[in-house]
Amino acid sequence: MKKEKVSFDAFIQLLGMLGVLGGLIFVGLEMQQTQTIALAAQANARTEMLLSRQLVSFEGRAELMHKVTTSQEKDLDEFEQWAQRRLYNWTYALQANNYFQYQLGLLDDEQWKVIERRIQINWDRCEIRPLYTQNPDTAFANYLDSLTDNCSE
């Protein structure tokens, strides 16, 4: 068997190609990370717009906010019930966005555990369950279906 010597130039070219390949892999990973961050920023912007629209009814009306957050629906007039549903929709949108951020890996497990407890607390409020189940966010809806259902008992 005849041994062939690899020239120094060929070795340098191989190292150069490996360097270019490594750089391309790095750029690809960076682009994927940038896309994830862009998706999260876009979702946050949509959620902020929705949340602002939901809360505009409460501007300068602290007494209304207090009443709808501390009263049962049956104790509220028609406008106050409407405002209470807006607040529940606001909560849903915020929690759905938090779930999306967690799925993208932008929330750590400790933050998610706190959010998850809040989601379960709202999910256990059987009177507002219809507001949660009417929203079309499939990923979040599937997550909600996986939670303990304390309303069917």
The pLDDT assigned to 28 comes to 84
Mean pLDDT of 75-98: 87
Asked whether the beta carbons of 86 and 57 are under 8 A apart, the reply is: yes
Written as six digits, the tokens of 80 are 């106050």
Residue of 136, 59, 73 lying closest to 144 (CA atoms): 136
Rounded distance between C-alpha atoms, residue 96 and residue 119, angstroms: 9
Check whether 121 has a pLDDT greater than 80: yes
pLDDT per residue as tens digits for the range 12-37:
888 888 888 888 888 888 888 888 78
Check whether 139 has a pLDDT greater than 90: no
The pLDDT assigned to 114 comes to 93
Check whether 40 has a pLDDT greater than 80: no
Check whether 74 has a pLDDT greater than 70: yes
The pLDDT assigned to 35 comes to 80
Check whether 113 has a pLDDT greater than 90: yes
The pLDDT assigned to 65 comes to 82
Average pLDDT, the chain: 83
